[in-house]
Amino acid sequence: MTPLEQKPPNPLDDEALLRDRLSSYLQAQSGRSWTVGPFTRYAVGFSWITYGFTAREEGSSDERGLILRLGPPYGLFAPYSAHPQYAALKALETSRVPVPRVFWWSDDVAILGAPFFISEKMPGVAPVPWSGSFEAGYRQSIGAQFVSAIAALHACDARNSGIAQNDTTVENAALKQIDFWQEAGARWALKSHPMLHWALRWLRRNQPVAPRVSLVHGDYRLGNFLEQDGRITAILDWELVHVGDPHEDIGWAFLPQFAMGSGLICRLIPRDEFIAQYERESGIKVNPASVHFYLVFSLVKLALTHIAAIRCFEEGRFNDMRMPAMGTQLAPVLRQIEKLLQ
């Protein structure tokens, strides 16, 4: 390789370089030097890269536990912006939604090689849908907190969140999301899928009017929160946050994929109890027709996520074997859509 062909050093491929760049960035932000400890990379998700690290600011004796999240150009839903996640977390810091405090963000790829944000590291572990079993008392307590957090999110004033409103109204909230995902699907699909095409047409014909325009998490489920000693410490993974119909998060949480045959929402709480507590705490009346619409919509979104994984792997952006494995789940998801629409 000649010098002209040499690729510039990329912090995404070199953790030592990433740590150096991060130290410089923190110094530029605070006006003091920082000592950044080694990174721990967390094997979560297919999109954003997540590192835990400790950092000590010059003159301070406290070592801070922090999280760095980077949206790489080869990620499942790339290209990314860190701003919506930063804005949502910042807006929710004083709310009843448990979230980590967020400190810095930038979409300037010259800094760390990708859009990024830095937040507080929260204690706890993320229970996942497909392993282990929950003791009844634990399940009921976590289930109630799971509902409280989403009810609190939907009760927030979305207009002051800093999230782009995109002229979203109660009338067009569903259409905005159908357009967003259909356009993404057109970029990702390697072939046509008649059941998916049928479902998208059905969604366009059956758009509900939202009860209000809320902040919508976009991936609210078991696996996307941290728990410690029976308490939810943080709701995570805000990369799909947007404004829209609050039923959207309900439809996603109600997916059978997260129930794992338990008959419970996310293996935590019966559907009727979820709805009753949610209505009580959010002040939003749950419309069964809207739940049905957003259940179909969520399956469409899940199918499109699988299609994104298929393309990502086919283009060689990842060799991660979880990608084609996800791709094999396209047919089961389309079959679930068929059953719902028959």
Partner 1 sequence: MNNSLPRLIDGMVATLRSEIIPHLDGEFARGQAFGVIYMLNNIRLRADWSPAFLGEQLAALVELAVSLGSLGVDTKFIPETAPDSSDPRVLEALRDEGDQRVCALMDWLEQQRAQLSVDTAAALDAALFRYMNRQLKWELSTSAKPMFAEISGGAE
Q: Give contact residues for partner 1 (rule: CB under 8 A).
A: 128, 130-131, 190-195, 197-198, 201, 306-307, 310, 313-314, 316, 319-325, 327-332, 334-335, 338, 342
The DSSP 8-state label assigned to residue 125 in this structure reads B
Structure tokens at 101: 């405090």
> What interhelical angle do 173-188 and 288-314 show, nearest 10?
20
- List, as one string, the DSSP characters of 244-283: E-THHHHHHHT-HHHHTTSSSBTTTB-HHHHHHHHHHHH-
Closer Cβ to partner 1, 74 or 169, answer by number: 74
Token pair 């090689």 in the structure block, residue: 113
How far CA 248 is from CA of 46, 228, 236, 239, 254, in Å, comes to: 22, 27, 17, 15, 10
> Least Å distance between CB 28 and partner 1?
35
90 vs 301, beta carbon nearer partner 1 = 301
CB of 263 to partner 1, least distance (A): 19
Q: Which regions of 93-224 does DSSP assign to beta strands (E)? A: 102-106, 116-120, 214-216
Residue 223 Cβ vs partner 1, minimum distance, rounded to whole Å: 9
Whole-angstrom distance, CA of residue 176 vs CA of residue 182: 10
The CA angle 284-290-292, to the nearest 5 degrees, is 130
Tokens of 116: 């990024």
- 16 versus 190: smaller Cβ distance to partner 1: 190
Q: Output the CA torsion 290→295→300→302 (10° steps).
A: 140
Cβ-based nearer residue to partner 1, 193 or 267: 193
Q: How far is the CB of 322 from partner 1 (least distance, A)?
A: 6
CB closer to partner 1 out of 103 and 313: 313
Shortest Cβ distance from residue 244 to partner 1 (Å)?
Answer: 25
CB of 315 to partner 1, least distance (A): 9
Q: Which is nearer to partner 1, 259 or 334 (CB)?
A: 334
Which is closer to partner 1, CB of 108 or CB of 314? 314
Nearest distance in Å: CB 99, partner 1: 25
Which residue is associated with the tokens 């419309």?
287
> Please, which residue, 140 or 329, has the CB nearer to partner 1?
329
Of 162 and 324, which has the nearer Cβ to partner 1?
324
Minimum CB–partner distance for residue 27 and partner 1 (Å): 34
DSSP E strands: which ranges in the chain? 34-36, 40-42, 49-57, 64-70, 102-106, 116-120, 214-216, 225-228, 231-235, 242-244
Q: Rounded CA gap, 203 and 139, in Å?
A: 34
CB of 187 to partner 1, least distance (A): 16
3-state secondary structure of 291: helix
The DSSP symbol for 118 reads: E
Dihedral over Cα of 92, 117, 232, 248: its sign: positive
